[in-house]
Amino acid sequence: MLELYHIINSASSHKVRLALQEKGLEAKEHLMTLSGDQFDPAYMKLNPNAAVPTLVHDGYVVVESSVILHYLDEVFPEPALMPRDPKLRAKVRLYCKLIDEYVHSSCTILSFATCFRDRLLKLSDEEREAELAKTPIPKRADYLRDTAARGLESPYVVEAVKHYEKLLSWIDESARAGAYLAGEAYSLAEAAVIPYIARLELLGLDKMWANRPGVAAWWQRMRDRPSTEDTLWKRMTDGDWAPFKNASIDPWPKVSTLLAPAR
């Protein structure tokens, strides 16, 4: 039996939902809130990072979304979500590495500098620090503290935009070579990348690829794909939409000033 601990508004959880659906797998869902339940000692036994997603397969616990993607592809090999050609396999791994090392935190930074900021700002300084002190990942606390204080003026935002631009340039190049990011079929590269492009759209930053026709074409195909529909757009409740719909600032004017000058 497969079990998935996740929330809908989590890009790393969305990666796993996409892979499950593309493989036709079902998992028993444990929908978390991330408003404290991630620090529950019973949950932290499963995931010591106090984060989602966590997959449990017949009692075996797997954490880290990219590790989960590869685990699923190895345990449930059909349909394969890794190409056969080693060069394309390397490409998938490069996308996963870029996401894990840079884009995931960039997504956190841009989300908390804009749509997710209000919740933290409503807390008193003491309450906010008490919440941030609980995270076992100090860098995450730094990002949240700084973006809560400075919003889009946080220096972390500059780096985040750069990392996202790198991802967009990779997608653009891949999309010029074919319909998918790594070879002729949907792969773990798509499952790894789609949630982070969806988040840019939700944040109102889809103009970031206005001058990248490859990204626009790839995204149009991917955003309308049944697995994206079923695992994101149809799953988002009013509560999941609220932070994006109620955002008090439009991030585009600031973000557009941070894009590479050559554009």
Ligand X SMILES: N[C@@H](CCC(=O)N[C@@H](CS)C(=O)NCC(=O)O)C(=O)O
Interface with ligand X by CB under 6 A: which residues?
A: 10-12, 34, 38, 50-53, 64-65, 100, 104, 135
Report the residue number, 141 or 217, with the smaller CB distance to ligand X.
141
List the structure tokens of 55. Answer: 């997959």
Q: Which residue, chain included where needed, has tokens 């500059």? A: 158
Task: Quote the CA–CA distance of 124 and 110 in Å, as a whole number.
Answer: 22
For residue 49, the minimal CB distance to ligand X (Å) is: 7
CB 113 within 8 Å of CB 205: no
Position closest to ligand X via CB: 51
For residue 257, the minimal CB distance to ligand X (Å) is: 27
Task: Quote the CA–CA distance of 22 and 188 in Å, as a whole number.
Answer: 10
Work out the burial of residue 236: count CB atoms within 10 Å of its CB; fewer than 13 is exposed, 13-18 middle, 19 or more buried. Answer: middle
Report the residue number, 96 or 205, with the smaller CB distance to ligand X.
96
254-to-2, 117, 205, 257, 259 alpha-carbon distances in Å: 43, 16, 11, 5, 9
Task: Report which of 183, 195, 204 is spatially closest to residue 83, judged by C-alpha positions.
Answer: 183
For residue 69, the minimal CB distance to ligand X (Å) is: 9
Q: Which residue, chain included where needed, has tokens 């060069």? A: 87
Report the residue number, 135 or 256, with the smaller CB distance to ligand X.
135
Report the residue number, 12 or 154, with the smaller CB distance to ligand X.
12
Q: ∠ CA 83-6-161 to the nearest 5 degrees?
A: 70
For residue 132, the minimal CB distance to ligand X (Å) is: 9
For residue 79, the minimal CB distance to ligand X (Å) is: 23
Sign of the alpha-carbon torsion through 93, 201, 230, 61: positive
For residue 58, the minimal CB distance to ligand X (Å) is: 20
Report the residue number, 28 or 134, with the smaller CB distance to ligand X.
134
Report the residue number, 108 or 187, with the smaller CB distance to ligand X.
108
